[in-house]
A and B are shown apart, each in its own frame.
Chain A
Amino acid sequence: KAGVTQTPRYLIKTRGQQVTLSCSPISGHRSVSWYQQTPGQGLQFLFEYFSETQRNKGNFPGRFSGRQFSNSRSEMNVSTLELGDSALYLCASSPGLAEYEQYFGPGTRLTVT
């Protein structure tokens, strides 16, 4: 089975712009979670989607949003980018409600200048 794929792998944006990142989960997986990884804060949970519904959200401002499509692919959007949004954004997929294991993609490296 192919793993979790994320596009693009690298992005450079300017403060104030917005960005959309994409994630395709492992085939058959219905849950997609997003995490932010920075040297200072480590890995932090952003939100999780299952069957196109957001089930949980971490402690991030409303500028961070996401959605999931009927084929389980997911996108996350960050509006009005700030320098502090520079990070590795990771997507993880899980088979479903009763399954605990999460499998991560390679991430999208976002740099805000």
Chain B
Amino acid sequence: GENVEQHPSTLSVQEGDSAVIKCTYSDSASNYFPWYKQELGKGPQLIIDIRSNVGEKKDQRIAVTLNKTAKHFSLHITETQPEDSAVYFCAASKGGGGADGLTFGKGTHLIIQP
């Protein structure tokens, strides 16, 4: 089955700096790669996603890049703010409508230092 590796497990950055979280996947048939943000006591919140026919996607301060050949994808957060502090998860799947299930990375605890 699919295996998703996520690094680093903890990332501390100064407010205003950029943060980058990286993930690799094993199954070349995976075609959908979402990123989730989870705050304490809440469920994961979908923040951005990318499909395998696209190399990069941006939404304001957040961007995701995908390298299908190398089977890795990354989350980039620019101009970090205190409210960006949370645990971020990458995931991969190869089915629509959740049929195949999402395989998640272990998460990155992002800490924004004031």
Contact = CB atoms under 8 A, between A and B. Distances in A.
Interface of A: 4, 30-33, 35, 42-45, 48, 50, 55-56, 58-59, 90, 92, 94-107
B99 A101 contact: no
A106 B42 contact: yes
Interface string B90-111: 0101011111111111110000
Interface in B28-80: 32, 34, 36, 41-46, 49, 51
Contacts, number: 79
A106 B42 CA distance: 5
Interface of B: 1, 32, 34, 36, 41-46, 49, 51, 89, 91, 93, 95-107
Contacts of A94: 97-98
Nearest to A42: B106
Closest A-B pairs by Cβ, 8 of them = A45-B101, A104-B43, A43-B104, A33-B98, A31-B97, A94-B98, A97-B97, A100-B32
Nearest to B41: A106
Contact of B107 (A42, A58, A106): A42
A45 B104 CA distance: 9
Nearest to A29: B97
Contacts of B42: 106
A99 B46 CA distance: 14
Contacts of A4: 43
14 contacts: A30-B97, A31-B99, A45-B103, A50-B99, A56-B99, A56-B101, A96-B97, A97-B97, A97-B99, A100-B32, A100-B51, A103-B46, A104-B45, A106-B41
B45 to A, nearest CB: 7
